[in-house]
Amino acid sequence: MREAEIPVTFQPHGRTVFVLDGSTLLETAAQAGITLNTPCGGRGTCGKCKVRVMRNADVPCDAEQTTLDASELAEGYRLACQTHVCAATTVDIPDTSVLASAFQILADARDAVTDVADAALRKVLVELPKPDRFDELPDVNRLERALEPFTLDLELLRELPEKLRVGDFYGTAVFADGHLIDFEQGDTRNECYAVAMDIGTTTLAGVLLDLTTGHERASVARMNPQTRFGDDVISRIQLVRQDATGLQSLRAAILDEVNEMIAELAATEDIPLSRIYEAVFAGNTTMQQIFAGIDPSALGESPFPPATGHGLAVRASELRLDIHARGSAYLFPVIGGFVGGDTVAGILATSLPESAGPTLLVDIGTNGEIVVYHDGRMLAASTAAGPAFEGARIMHGMRATTGAIEKVVFDGDARISVIGDAPPVGLCGSALIDVIAELLRHEMLLGQGMLLGADDVPDTVPQPLRDRLIDTADGPAFILANADETSSGAPVLLTQKDIREVQLATAAIRAGILILMRRVGLDVGDIERVLIAGGFGNFIRRSNAQRIGLLPIELEHHRIQYVGNTSLAGARLAAASRHARERAETWARQVQHVDLSLDVEFNNEYVTAMFFPE
Amino acid sequence: MREAEIPVTFQPHGRTVFVLDGSTLLETAAQAGITLNTPCGGRGTCGKCKVRVMRNADVPCDAEQTTLDASELAEGYRLACQTHVCAATTVDIPDTSVLASAFQILADARDAVTDVADAALRKVLVELPKPDRFDELPDVNRLERALEPFTLDLELLRELPEKLRVGDFYGTAVFADGHLIDFEQGDTRNECYAVAMDIGTTTLAGVLLDLTTGHERASVARMNPQTRFGDDVISRIQLVRQDATGLQSLRAAILDEVNEMIAELAATEDIPLSRIYEAVFAGNTTMQQIFAGIDPSALGESPFPPATGHGLAVRASELRLDIHARGSAYLFPVIGGFVGGDTVAGILATSLPESAGPTLLVDIGTNGEIVVYHDGRMLAASTAAGPAFEGARIMHGMRATTGAIEKVVFDGDARISVIGDAPPVGLCGSALIDVIAELLRHEMLLGQGMLLGADDVPDTVPQPLRDRLIDTADGPAFILANADETSSGAPVLLTQKDIREVQLATAAIRAGILILMRRVGLDVGDIERVLIAGGFGNFIRRSNAQRIGLLPIELEHHRIQYVGNTSLAGARLAAASRHARERAETWARQVQHVDLSLDVEFNNEYVTAMFFPE
């Protein structure tokens, strides 16, 4: 049963999101990228998440009547944590209710403004006096006299005399970190772009950034075409080790795709590729090495040493990227063979080492990387979680894109929410979490991971839900969307095998979290904030993530925050700011890598975590 | 009449040179690269050029008997300025008689040791602990831990993991200015070379430098193959302006030749090209721009602005040089469109701005460049002297190489000295100066430049000299070597047209000197030292250079010093020392360019200088 969603518009942000009936305003606001204050943990006692519901306000509950005064209630003020959406509405959010946090920009990066004051790229409009017999300064020195001393490549030096003369010594000098990379005819100061990309094992996501304003202008996401060579990095490293042309094939595949994505971003905004001067990439160590054409063979064998830990600042042409001919490219520093640039980008995006208290960053991609910050220290570990939450290895799994079921609620029957105005095609990571959590709650799924048949579920399970349990050749399955709801005419299923994949993924991550906690001498309860990163949906329901055991159940609910694709967010920061890159380089070197396979307790924890929490 | 030359060996230097009967020891020592003290100007009054003649000592002259005491005379001590070579001898030179001067290294660069303490290139032998599970540092960081932080290009980063493992983490790290350019298997610290080259309009000269010792290991000189496109820079610039492929053709021609010369240098010493890490080039502005692939069109039109005034430090591969794949190349800074990197190299080689008093540097190549230093200021001018002194535009002109007549003395007949053990082929610049000076002295050539016929010369001219004057289809000529002396069977001639070329060249240079003197407010007599640079022979006879008007006659004889190819000497310094490059960059920017064509007095001086001095 697919239901229409209810539109909720937030002011003064002007953002509208569509949610299922009964969602809290707190959750709805988060989905719109607005994180509200909830120091009480969303229990309705602190009053800090106060918002003004302009239409269709609920009747105030007891908590609201205690916390808010009569005049506030009369004006429509409610507590976001206690108010449930039941009809289309508009909500006014006071500044005081918004959590002032860097994480905000992550949850809704599209509207975020990246700080560009510190950008490496700088354009200066200049009009030079023309050379004459009494002013015969060489071209470069003439330009320096008007500006400041700079360096330039031979390639540009070869073109500069012509470029200066074609524009009659009037034009825009383009500097990248004090290095002259072009002299453009006329005033092009407003045409200044960068691309930032997350190059994941399974998914590639990129944005076009306007470096004059810091605004995102376009975004694009695609499947990593390397998946046809193997869906995890290990299989791709094996290919390189076995096949002399393996590296070349893998590199060509991603490079072509990335160049197409860049072309798409530029075309969307009608921008010539020559006006894109920077390209920043964050990915795991193997992805980054393959992308840079560095043999990843050493990453296939213990102790998995990367070629370098440093960020790679190179000419875009060295990577064969189709941006400005003398544009630059940057790949993030890495921590180890299996804790890569995406994790460093996440640390950067969340300013992890500047956290007020013990903080955990969990990035759920094809691998699950976990970083704990405590008392000036950072420890990181990687777990082989697998790509389940990105939709891979799941029968009807898919990325969080149009047609993906992104949310599932059991309410007598299964109600689903689909991304975009489209019939359901498959399910993305957030829906995977939802449906398993709901199956567990309804005891249709046992703690050890067995999906029950229609006849074996408790009597309390409503018939519509019971009807969704079917037997297939591969074992039991749960129907998320019936054949008549989809355009393909085939149902969208969650299979027993899918559930096993999720068990493996959640077990690895949860065990990793516990080991890291122990290493810094903390209990899960000591954690002040848990940041969940990943591209698996627009929003992750914290209670569901805990219900399936992805996060320890002991974690206080309100401490968990979904921060979106931090790899992309970090890449975006590094595209616009030199300081951000310096922070990334410094922080990467401060992280201590924990090899979980060397930890005697990890395997025990892992096996224990294979069971869904009771 | 070609005479055997007399060998003179100098100790403790161990150098032997061959000179004509009657040469002074002062001149002979200079030819061996040893400049003696002559504060009295070689008049035999100061005694500072005292040397000990071990065999065949002359009878002491009056001056020697006055200046030296009896015991000294008995031991064979003589004054080098007063002693004439008449038989094979060995001469012992006391340290106290040698002029302590930087110029020394120039006159005999082959034996000179360039200071390599400040070389940009550094090799470090390193043995790294291999990665294991408890030491999983990335490859680059592992190397940095053993050494110091460094940068490296993506190209090397791609190869580094393999290079480290092939050598089992033992090898030689090669740094260029702190940038890692290679990791070589085993201990290669002793294999470290550079090439330095003078890329002249007419002549290319290069040396192979051992960067571990500073010694020159091999040298090579060739004709610039671009001469087939035109023998001066103007005609080559015209070619580029008229023909779309002109720059490419000119560049390919010199590049191929330079790469062949480098290959020859390496082959001579049996060194692989991959052990040459640096290549430094000094040439005039047009030559350097063409060599770097920078369109020189702007240099063909007033105000002749170069593309850049700065030195060009680039990867050798960007110039397509066949040295180490990540070796570096450096082209000298330039002063203006017609005062180029060769002049800056000359300023560097002679440490011109560190001169004690007013100093003139005159570099006689295809153009004549003049730099005057006085009181902290440097002024430079270029004159279109033409390539006469390099042998071009002279009927039998040639470079100072095997078979070149390099010296001419009239002594009843013309006596010539030929470079190498070979019959005469032609004459080089120094012989050109000699023969014209002698013709003037014998009044066989008039002041306005007319060569007289055999019947028109004064009666005092001996018959053998008279017999050498002949008439040709192109006018009168002087026979330097008869047909029976040469291997070609044709005589070596000096023609009337040759003399006109020399008049044009000397007039331009002398007028230029006078104008520059005036600009700094000095008379020629105020000059403390005149440094004559150029590749036109092993030695230039100062009196002859003055006799033909190349240098003002007012200059005191002993103030003139021949310093050889300073363009090559400067390139050599810059190949071995970062400090030298910094000096070159700084000094280049301190020089004020004087455009002689803007000077109202230049044309007057030029016309006057067309006449040989009386």
Find the residue in A nearest to B135 (Cα): A303
Q: How many CB atoms neighbour CB A415 within 10 A?
A: 17
pLDDT for position A193: 97
H-type alpha helices, B54-150: 62-67, 70-74, 104-107, 139-146
> Among B132, B157, B307, whose Cβ lies nearest the Cβ of A294?
B157
> Among A154, A295, A309, whose Cβ lies nearest the Cβ of B138?
A309
Report yes or no: B313 at the A interface, CB cutoff 8 Å.
no
Chain A window 350-389: which residues touch B at a Cβ cutoff of 8 Å? none
Provide the percentage of residues in chain A whose pLDDT is more than 90: 67
Q: Do the Cβ atoms of B303 and A131 come within 8 Å?
A: yes
* B33/B107 Cα distance (integer angstroms): 5
Residue type, A345: A
pLDDT for position B4: 62
Asked whether the predicted pLDDT for residue A100 surpasses 70, the reply is no
User: What is the pLDDT confidence band of residue A356, given thresholds at 50, 70 and 90?
Assistant: very high
Mutate one of A154, A166, A180, A281 to test the B interface: name it (highest B CB count within 10 A): A154
Q: Looking at beta carbons, which residues of chain A come within 8 Å of B133?
A: 302-303, 595, 598
Mean pLDDT, residues B289-308 taken together: 95
> Among A132, A154, A162, whose Cβ lies nearest the Cβ of B312?
A154
Report yes or no: A259 at the B interface, CB cutoff 8 Å.
no
Q: Do the Cβ atoms of A312 and B133 come within 8 Å?
A: no
Asked whether the predicted pLDDT for residue A332 surpasses 80, the reply is yes
pLDDT for position A538: 58
By mean pLDDT, which of A159-163, B218-222, B484-488, B558-562 is the weakest?
B558-562
B236 touches B229 (CB < 8 A): yes
pLDDT for position B105: 32
The overall average pLDDT reported for chain B is 90
Residue with tokens 């002793």: B190
Mean pLDDT, residues A125-142 taken together: 94
Q: Do the Cβ atoms of A303 and B136 come within 8 Å?
A: yes
User: Whole-structure pTM over 0.95, yes or no?
Assistant: no
Q: Looking at beta carbons, which residues of chain B come within 8 Å of A295?
A: 158, 161-162
Report yes or no: B295 at the A interface, CB cutoff 8 Å.
yes
User: What is the pLDDT confidence band of residue B33, given thresholds at 50, 70 and 90?
Assistant: low
Helix (H) or strand (E) holding B348: helix B341-349
By mean pLDDT, which of A114-118, A130-134, A276-280 is the weakest?
A114-118
What domains appear along chain A, each with residue ranges and CATH number? 6-99 (3.10.20.30), 121-185 (3.10.20.880), 193-331 (3.30.420.480), 350-614 (no CATH)
Q: Looking at beta carbons, which residues of chain B come within 8 Å of A334?
A: 138
The overall average pLDDT reported for chain A is 90
Q: Looking at beta carbons, which residues of chain B come within 8 Å of A596?
A: none
pLDDT for position A108: 42
Q: B270 or A302: whose pLDDT is higher?
A: B270
Q: Do the Cβ atoms of B136 and A298 come within 8 Å?
A: no
Model pLDDT for residues B59-118, shown as the tens digit of each residue: 888 888 888 888 888 888 999 888 888 888 999 988 777 754 333 333 344 455 677 778
pLDDT for position B39: 60
Cβ neighbourhood burial of A448 (10 Å; 0-12, 13-18, 19+): exposed
Model pLDDT for residues B503-536, shown as the tens digit of each residue: 999 999 999 999 999 999 999 889 999 999 986 6
Torsions phi, psi of A234, nearest 5?
-60, -45
Mean pLDDT, residues A18-22 taken together: 81
Q: Do the Cβ atoms of A306 and B138 come within 8 Å?
A: yes
Model pLDDT for residues A196-231, shown as the tens digit of each residue: 999 999 889 999 999 998 889 999 988 899 988 987
Q: Please tell me the distance in Å from B305's CA to the nearest CA on chain A.
A: 5
Q: Do the Cβ atoms of B158 and A293 come within 8 Å?
A: yes
Q: A15 or B123: whose pLDDT is higher?
A: B123
> Among A154, A294, A306, whose Cβ lies nearest the Cβ of B158?
A294
Q: Looking at beta carbons, which residues of chain B come within 8 Å of A165?
A: 298
Q: Do the Cβ atoms of B136 and A310 come within 8 Å?
A: no
Mean pLDDT, residues B306-335 taken together: 97
By mean pLDDT, which of A28-37, A144-153, B316-325 is the weakest?
A28-37
pLDDT for position A400: 81
Q: Please tell me the distance in Å from A214's CA to the nearest CA on chain B.
A: 29
Based on its alpha-carbon atoms, the radius of gyration of chain A, rounded to whole angstroms, reads 26
Return the DSSP state at B273: G
Report yes or no: A600 at the B interface, CB cutoff 8 Å.
no
> Among A158, A294, A318, whose Cβ lies nearest the Cβ of B293?
A158
Q: A151 or A5: whose pLDDT is higher?
A: A151
pLDDT for position B541: 84
Q: How many CB atoms neighbour CB A70 within 10 A?
A: 9
Q: Do the Cβ atoms of A132 and B162 come within 8 Å?
A: no
CA angle, A363 then A369 then A371, to 5°:
90
Mutate one of B145, B150, B158 to test the A interface: name it (highest A CB count within 10 A): B158
Q: Looking at beta carbons, which residues of chain A come within 8 Å of B319?
A: 154
Model pLDDT for residues A151-186, shown as the tens digit of each residue: 999 999 999 999 999 999 999 999 999 999 999 999
Model pLDDT for residues B118-150, shown as the tens digit of each residue: 888 999 999 999 999 889 899 999 999 999 999
* B333/B17 Cα distance (integer angstroms): 36
Provide the percentage of residues in chain B whose pLDDT is more than 70: 95
Q: Do the Cβ atoms of B137 and A309 come within 8 Å?
A: yes
Query: How big is the A-B interface in CB pairs under 8 Å?
Result: 130
* B365/B202 Cα distance (integer angstroms): 8
Mutate one of B179, B281, B294 to test the A interface: name it (highest A CB count within 10 A): B294
Asked whether the predicted pLDDT for residue B321 surpasses 70, the reply is yes
- Cα A72 to Cα A459, B147, B393: the distances in Å are 45, 67, 102
Q: Do the Cβ atoms of A295 and B161 come within 8 Å?
A: yes
Model pLDDT for residues A525-561, shown as the tens digit of each residue: 899 999 999 866 657 788 899 999 998 888 888 888 8
Report yes or no: A306 at the B interface, CB cutoff 8 Å.
yes
Mean pLDDT, residues A21-45 taken together: 75
Chain A window 322-351: which residues touch B at a Cβ cutoff of 8 Å? 334, 336-337
Q: Please tell me the distance in Å from A315's CA to the nearest CA on chain B.
A: 9
Report yes or no: B296 at the A interface, CB cutoff 8 Å.
no
Find the residue in A nearest to B295 (Cα): A158
Report yes or no: A392 at the B interface, CB cutoff 8 Å.
no
Mutate one of B145, B152, B154 to test the A interface: name it (highest A CB count within 10 A): B154
pLDDT for position B308: 97
pLDDT for position B236: 95
Provide the percentage of residues in chain B whose pLDDT is more than 90: 66
Helix (H) or strand (E) holding B563: strand B560-564
Q: Do the Cβ atoms of B154 and A598 come within 8 Å?
A: no
Using DSSP bridges, classify how beta strands B50-53 and B89-92 pair: parallel, antiparallel or unpaired: antiparallel
Find the residue in B nearest to A150 (Cα): B310
User: What is the pLDDT confidence band of residue A497, given thresholds at 50, 70 and 90?
Assistant: very high
Report yes or no: A39 at the B interface, CB cutoff 8 Å.
no
A31 touches A40 (CB < 8 A): no
Cβ neighbourhood burial of B229 (10 Å; 0-12, 13-18, 19+): middle
pLDDT for position B451: 96
Q: Please tell me the distance in Å from B306's CA to the nearest CA on chain A.
A: 5
User: What is the pLDDT confidence band of residue A39, given thresholds at 50, 70 and 90?
Assistant: low
- Cα B481 to Cα A279, A407, B416, B529, B539: the distances in Å are 71, 103, 8, 35, 20
Q: Which two three-digit tokens encode residue B388? A: 């006469």
Model pLDDT for residues B199-212, shown as the tens digit of each residue: 999 889 999 999 99
Asked whether the predicted pLDDT for residue A104 surpasses 70, the reply is no
Q: Looking at beta carbons, which residues of chain B come within 8 Å of A307?
A: 138-140, 157-158, 160-161
B284 touches B338 (CB < 8 A): yes
A526 touches A358 (CB < 8 A): yes
Asked whether the predicted pLDDT for residue A362 surpasses 70, the reply is yes
Model pLDDT for residues B13-29, shown as the tens digit of each residue: 777 888 888 888 888 88
Cis-peptide into A12, omega within 30 deg: yes
> Among A139, A304, A312, whose Cβ lies nearest the Cβ of B305?
A139
Q: Do the Cβ atoms of B310 and A141 come within 8 Å?
A: yes
* A470/A476 Cα distance (integer angstroms): 6
pLDDT for position A70: 87
Q: Looking at beta carbons, which residues of chain A come within 8 Å of B293?
A: 154, 158
Find the residue in B nearest to A164 (Cα): B307
Nearest in space to B348 (alpha carbons), one of B578, B100, B177: B578
Find the residue in B nearest to A165 (Cα): B298
Mutate one of A248, A304, A308 to test the B interface: name it (highest B CB count within 10 A): A308
Mean pLDDT, residues B469-487 taken together: 93
pLDDT for position A526: 93
pLDDT for position A3: 56
